[in-house]
A and B are shown apart, each in its own frame.
Chain A
Amino acid sequence: MSTISIKNLRKTYGPYVAVDDLTFEIPDACVFGLLGPNGAGKTTTFKCMLGLARATSGSVLYDGAPLVPETLERIAYVPERSVLYEWMTVGEHIEMQRRAYRKFSVARARELLAQFGIDLRKKARALSKGMRTATMVALAIARESDILILDEPTSGLDPINQRHVLNLIINESARGATVIFSSHQIGQVERAAERIAVIDRGRLALEGNVDDLKADRKIVEGILPSETFALNGLAGDPHILRLDRNGRIVRAVTSSDAGEVLAKFEALGASGLRIVDLNLEDIFLYAVSPADATADVVEGH
Chain B
Amino acid sequence: MNYVEWLRVRNALRVTAICLGISIVVALVVRISIAAQFGSTHDIVNRLGAEKDTVTTHSVVDGFNRTTLTNAREHTVVVIEDQADGSKIIQITEPGNSAHSNSVSMGPVRVSTSESGGVEKTTIETNRPVPFGIYAAIAAVIALIIATVLGAPFAKENDGHLEIAFLKPVSRTNNALGVVLADCVGILVAEVMTVLAFAIMQAFFEVPHFDFSGINSTAILLAIALPFSWYTFLNASTASLKRGAGAVVGLAWPAAFVSIALAGLNLGTSIAGQTFHTIFWSISRIFPLTYVQFEGHDNDLSSLGPKLMTTAAILTGLFLVYGALAVVQWRRVEA
Contact = CB atoms under 8 A, between A and B. Distances in A.
Interface of A: 47, 50-54, 69-73, 75, 77, 79, 81-85, 87-88, 92, 95-96, 99-102
Interface in B154-188: 160-164, 166-172
Contacts of A72: 167-169
A59 B168 CA distance: 21
Given A47-B335, A50-B167, A96 B3 contact: yes
7 contacts: A47-B335, A71-B169, A72-B168, A75-B167, A81-B160, A87-B11, A95-B3
Interface of B: 3-4, 7, 11, 160-164, 166-172, 334-335
A88 B11 CA distance: 11
A75 B168 CA distance: 10
A71 to B, nearest CB: 8
B171 to A, nearest CB: 5
Given A83-B161, A85-B161, A96-B4, A52 B334 contact: yes
B48 to A, nearest CB: 58
A54 B3 contact: no
B330 to A, nearest CB: 13
Contacts of B334: 47, 52-54
A96 B164 CA distance: 10
Contacts of B4: 85, 88, 96
Contacts of B170: 69
Given A85-B4, A99-B3, A51 B163 contact: no
A164 B160 CA distance: 26
Nearest to B162: A52
A101 B172 CA distance: 15
Contacts of B164: 83-85, 96
Given A71-B169, A96-B164, A101-B169, 13 more contacts: A47-B335, A52-B163, A52-B334, A53-B335, A69-B170, A72-B169, A81-B160, A82-B160, A83-B161, A96-B3, A96-B4, A99-B3, A100-B169
Nearest to B170: A69
A283 B172 CA distance: 42
State the main secondary structure of chain B at its contact with A. Answer: loop
A77 B163 CA distance: 8
Contacts of A85: 4, 161, 164
- B4, B167, B170, most chain A CB atoms within 10 A: B167
Given A52-B334, A83-B161, A85-B161, A77 B167 contact: yes
B11 to A, nearest CB: 8
Contact of B169 (A47, A53, A69, A82): A69
Contacts of B160: 81-83
Contacts of B11: 87
Nearest to A92: B7
A282 B335 CA distance: 34
A194 to B, nearest CB: 25
Nearest to A13: B334
A148 to B, nearest CB: 13
B172 to A, nearest CB: 8
Nearest to A89: B7
Contact of A69 (B3, B161, B171): B171
- A69, A70, A95, A102, most chain B CB atoms within 10 A: A69
A71 B162 CA distance: 17
Nearest to B333: A52
Contacts of B7: 88, 92
A100 B168 contact: yes
A16 to B, nearest CB: 14
A270 B205 CA distance: 108
A70 B169 contact: yes
**Nearest 6 interchain pairs by C-beta:** A52-B335, A73-B169, A72-B169, A83-B163, A79-B163, A100-B168
Contacts of A47: 334-335
A52 B166 contact: yes
Contacts of B168: 69, 72, 100-101
Contacts of A84: 164
Contacts of A73: 169
A88 B334 CA distance: 24
